[in-house]
Amino acid sequence: MFKPRKCPIKWVLCLAILCGLSVVGMTLQAQDVQVHHLKVDHLQYPALQMVNGYPVGGYAIGTGQRVLIANTQPAFGWELSGARMGIMQSAYRIMVSQNRDSLTKGVGGIWDSGKMESEESTTVLYQGIPLETNSNYFWQVMVWDDQGRPSSWSAISNFWTADSLSDYNTSAYPLQKTDEMPKSLTKVDDVVRIDFGKASFGQLRLTLAASKDGDTITVRLGEAVNPDGSINRDPGGTIRYAKYQVPLMRGRHTYRLQLSPNQRNTGPQAIKMPDYIGEVMPFRYGEVTGHVGELKKDDFVRSTVHYPFDDFASDFESSDSILNAVWELCKYSIKATSFAGIYVDGDRERIPYEADAYINQLCHYGVDKEYSMARRSHEYLLHHATWPTEWILQSVLMAYHDYLYTGDIRSARHYYEDLKAKLLLPLRENNGLISTKTEKQNKQLMQAIHFQGDALRDIVDWPHTGGFGMVGNGETDGFVFTTYNAVVNAFHYKALRDMEKLAVALGNHDDAAHFSIKADETYKAFQSLLWDKRKRVFRDGIDTDHASLHTNMMALAFGLVPEKETRHVMDFIRSRGVACSVYGSQFLLDATYTAGDANYGLSLLTSQGDRSWYNMIRAGSTITMEAWDNKYKPNQDWNHAWGAVPANAIPRKLMGVEPLEPGWRTFRVRPQIGSLEWATIKVPTLKGSVDLSCRQGQGTYSMHLTIPPNTQAYIEIPVQAIPNPQVTVNGRKVDFELDHGFIRLSAMGSGTYDIEVMK
- Read out DSSP for 548-614? -HHHHHHHHHTT-S-GGGHHHHHHHHHHH-S-S-TTTHHHHHHHHHHTT-HHHHHHHHT--SSSSHH
Beta-bridge partners for 66: 49
The segment(s) of the chain belonging to CATH 2.60.420.10 are 666-758
Q: Quote the pLDDT of residue 61.
A: 64
Question: What strands lie across the sheet with 75-81, from one edge to the other?
Answer: 34-40, 75-81, 124-125
pLDDT reading at 22 higher than 70: no
**Element housing 206 (H / E):** strand 191-210
Fold that domain 666-758 belongs to in CATH: Maltose phosphorylase, domain 3 (2.60.420)
The segment(s) of the chain belonging to CATH 2.60.120.260 are 176-306
Q: What is the average pLDDT across 28-36?
A: 72
β pairing state of 157-166 and 69-71: parallel
The segment(s) of the chain belonging to CATH 2.60.40.10 are 22-166
Least confident span in 128-132, 435-439, 657-661, 741-745: 741-745
Contact 640, 337 (CB under 8 A): yes
Residue percentage of the chain with pLDDT more than 70? 94
Fold that domain 22-166 belongs to in CATH: Immunoglobulin-like (2.60.40)
pLDDT tens track for 465-505: 754 443 446 899 999 999 999 999 999 999 999 999 999 99
Q: Quote the pLDDT of residue 17.
A: 33
Q: Quote the pLDDT of residue 472.
A: 47
Q: Quote the pLDDT of residue 63.
A: 74
Distance of alpha carbon 485 from alpha carbon 489, whole angstroms: 6
Contacts of 718 (CB under 8 A, 6+ apart): 596, 598, 671, 672, 701, 741, 742
pLDDT reading at 520 higher than 90: yes
Q: Quote the pLDDT of residue 717.
A: 94
C-alpha separations of 578 from 490, 553, 589, 617 in Å: 20, 11, 10, 18
Residue percentage of the chain with pLDDT more than 90? 91
Least confident span in 24-33, 394-403, 602-611, 674-683: 24-33
Contact 538, 573 (CB under 8 A): no
Contact 711, 675 (CB under 8 A): no
For all residues of the chain together, what is the average pLDDT?
93
pTM: 0.94
Task: For residue 699, name the pLDDT band (cuts at 50, 70, 90).
Answer: confident
Q: Quote the pLDDT of residue 277.
A: 97
Residue 671: asked if its preceding bond is cis (omega within 30°), the reply is no
Q: Quote the pLDDT of residue 1.
A: 33
Task: For residue 29, name the pLDDT band (cuts at 50, 70, 90).
Answer: very low
Least confident span in 1-10, 332-341, 496-505, 558-567: 1-10
Burial class (CB in 10 A: 0-12, 13-18, 19+), 168: middle
Q: Which option is the CATH number for 176-306: 3.40.630.30, 2.60.120.260, 3.30.450.40, 2.40.10.10?
A: 2.60.120.260
Contact 353, 345 (CB under 8 A): yes
pLDDT tens track for 224-273: 999 999 999 999 999 999 999 999 999 999 999 999 999 999 999 999 99
Nearest by Cα to 641 from 583, 580, 554, 579: 583
In this structure, the chain runs to a length of 759
pLDDT reading at 103 higher than 80: yes
